[in-house]
Amino acid sequence: MAGDQLQVLNALDVAKTQLYHFTAIVIAGMGFFTDAYDLFCISLVTKLLGRIYYHVDGAAKPGTLPPNVAAAVNGVAFCGTLTGQLFFGWLGDKMGRKRVYGMTLMIMVICSVASGLSFGHTSKSVIATLCFFRFWLGFGIGGDYPLSATIMSEYANKKTRGAFIAAVFAMQGFGILAGGMIAIIVSASFKAKYSAPSYAENAAGSTVSQADFVWRIILMFGAIPALLTYYWRMKMPETARYTALVAKNAKQAATDMAKVLQVEIEAEQDKIDNMERKDNSFGLFSKEFLRRHGLHLLGTTSTWFLLDVAFYSQNLFQKDVFTAIGWLPSAAKMNAIEEVYKIARAQTLIALCSTVPGYWFTVALIDVIGRFTIQLMGFFFMTVFMFALAIPYHHWTLKENRIGFVIMYSLTFFFANFGPNATTFVVPAEIFPARLRSTCHGISAASGKAGAIVGAFGFLYAAQSTDKTKTDAGYPPGIGMKNSLIMLGVANFLGMLCTFLVPESNGKSLEEASGENEEDEVKTTAETELPGNNRTVPL
């Protein structure tokens, strides 16, 4: 296969780390910064939305979003993201990565602003328009997953490819951190300007009218980083692997990469024509794809699904977990803006101490110890810490043990990010052929968002107390926080088992990892045991 390798692709594989690598990381990464900000900032303001639009005079507790509304507000962006991942993943293989890259960013900019505007003042009109625009915001975010991963994998060299793709994804950690910091700044500013009593002291006066601006400003801020990145995305050339292997234009691929790498590259159209004559291509729904990559796709989809069930449940409902163990005061002891401030402060602390470091541990080590090891280790420790929190749950609710709970809860985030949350993003961008790479990454990512939807909707109901008198307004009794955490631990354990379906791609070119240049002939036993043809992970 090495002899058939196009010079332009070989030049990319062996290129030294250069400025264009870091430029690509920043351009693709700022999209992920925005993605994370937009997806997770909603959890900072849902309590505030309940107080503003669902206040009930004379109620003992502040207003909360009804179950169906809370589920919609938390989950509708994930539904849009799932749809966008499938659609733009497919479109990225049909039209090229670059042509649809700017489109996703503009959808995110427009819908971030529109989400904050959410026309009207009645609860129905505000929530309806908020959900509408957050669906389309999610649609744009969804496109960013397969396109960013594919573009970065096809630009990178094989020695540090994992670190570069993981660095793009690691910007998600900064997006989560930025969401908390913006919420702290905005809520602190409004709190200082418009003082108000706690709900227990004065129910009606605890939510000042200006609080309506707080959540709108927080949501709209997500448009700024996306808008700043748009120009640079449009300046990026199409990836050489798409241009050469899918569009079959050797001259354009060589010209584009010669500018990027600043070296002379020969346009080898004859090699591309020879590949085309062999016609070794196969479709997504073919028996050949099933034979070569069926287990791989099952592995990437199942692990991403199981990870996101746990990961998004933990992220979206941190505030409920922290309130349940008494780390945050009860809602009645705070005014509306103060509640936003304290929720944001708690989530920012978690992001700063565990989420962000976890991502960068992966960046540093993924090309050293490999994708498989990091993913297996991450799922293992997530399982251990989740069961350690869940089984002696009563112990952690005692006041003297709350700090211990927060530390262990933080460690589950650390090993999610120094583990499967990063590797499930990296691997699908490496192990599938160029003509199906974006599509398969989109399918894998969409499976993850299906898990996020299960987590967002399921945890909302499941975590309710088994005692009907202690549930939030409008909710039926659930299985309780302890049993919900046990279920998340089980999901992590299943993810660890499914990791064995995913091949190791560390140190291989994309063509080796995907078997893209394999001859379409029956392999001997010796040939199928070569490292480049491994179908499962060596143990």
39 CB burial (10 A radius; 0-12, 13-18, 19+): buried
pLDDT (0 to 100) of residue 410: 82
* Predicted pLDDT at 11: 85
Length of the chain: 539
Of the candidates 152, 133, 154, 179, the residue with the CA atom closest to the CA atom of residue 35: 179
Cα–Cα distance, 349 to 73 (Å, whole number): 24
Please state the three-class secondary structure of 161-209 as a single string.
HHHHHHHHHHHHHHHHHHHHHHHHHHHHHHHHHCCCCCCCCCCCCCCCC
Contact 195, 205 (CB under 8 A): no
Nearest to 458 by CA among 71, 44, 42, 41: 71
Residues 119 and 131 sit within 8 Å (Cβ to Cβ): no
Contact 41, 175 (CB under 8 A): no
Q: Is 5 exposed, middle or buried (0-12, 13-18, 19+ CB in 10 A)?
A: middle
pTM, whole model, 2 decimals?
A: 0.85
Helix (H) or strand (E) holding 74: helix 67-95
Per-residue burial over 355-391, b = 16 or more CB atoms within 10 Å of its CB, e = otherwise: bbbbbbbbbebbbeebbbbbbbbbbbbbbbbbbbbbe
Of 284, 293, 307, the closest CA to residue 423 belongs to 307
| Tokens 């910007």 -> residue | 171
- The neighbour count for residue 18, using CB atoms within 10 Å, is 12
Please give the pLDDT value at position 362: 94
| Phi, psi of 33, rounded to the nearest 5 degrees | -55, -50
CA 532 to chain centre: 29
Indicate the burial class of 257 (C-beta count within 10 angstroms; 0-12, 13-18, 19 or more).
buried
In the chain, the amino acid numbered 260 is V
| Tokens 């088992």, located at residue | 497
Give CA–CA dist 166/162, Å, rounded.
6
Q: How many CA atoms lie within 13 A of 376 on its CB side?
A: 15
User: Distance of CA 38 to CAs 82, 88, 136, 445, Å?
Assistant: 15, 19, 12, 17
In whole angstroms, what is the distance from residue 456 CA to residue 237 CA? 38
Residue 244 is given by DSSP the state I
Q: What are 392's two structure tokens?
A: 């002696």
Q: What share of the chain is helix, strand, coil (3-state, %, to 5)?
A: 75, 0, 25
Q: What are phi and psi of 224, to 5 degrees?
A: -65, -55
Distance in angstroms between the alpha carbons of the first and the last residue of the chain: 26
| Residue 155 phi, psi dihedral angles, 5° rounding | -90, -25
Long-range contact pairs involving 99-103 (C-beta distance under 8 Å, separation at least 24): 99/238, 100/143, 100/147, 101/147, 101/151, 101/233, 101/236, 102/230, 102/233, 102/234, 103/143
Distance CA 65, CA 297 (A): 38
Query: Which pLDDT score is estimated for 37?
Result: 92
**What per-residue confidence (pLDDT) applies to 277?**
60
pLDDT in tens, the chain (539 residues): 444 677 888 888 888 888 888 888 988 888 889 988 998 888 889 999 999 999 888 888 898 888 888 888 888 988 999 999 999 999 999 998 888 888 999 999 999 999 998 887 788 999 999 999 999 999 999 999 999 999 999 988 888 999 999 999 999 889 999 999 999 999 999 999 998 999 999 988 999 999 999 999 999 998 998 888 888 888 888 888 888 888 888 888 888 888 887 777 877 777 777 766 655 678 888 999 999 999 999 999 999 999 999 887 776 666 666 766 667 788 888 999 999 999 899 888 888 887 789 899 999 999 999 999 999 999 999 999 989 988 888 887 787 787 787 788 888 889 999 999 999 999 999 999 988 999 999 999 999 999 988 887 777 777 677 777 777 666 778 787 788 888 889 999 999 999 999 999 998 888 888 877 654 433 433 443 444 444 444 33
Residue pair 37/222 in contact by the 8 Å Cβ criterion:
yes
pLDDT of amino acid 271: 76
Distances from the Cα of 322 to the Cαs of 180, 342, 396, 403, in angstroms? 15, 11, 11, 11
Phi then psi for 333, rounded to 5 degrees?
Answer: -90, 0
pLDDT of residue 321: 65
Cα distance between residue 338 and residue 186, in whole Å = 11
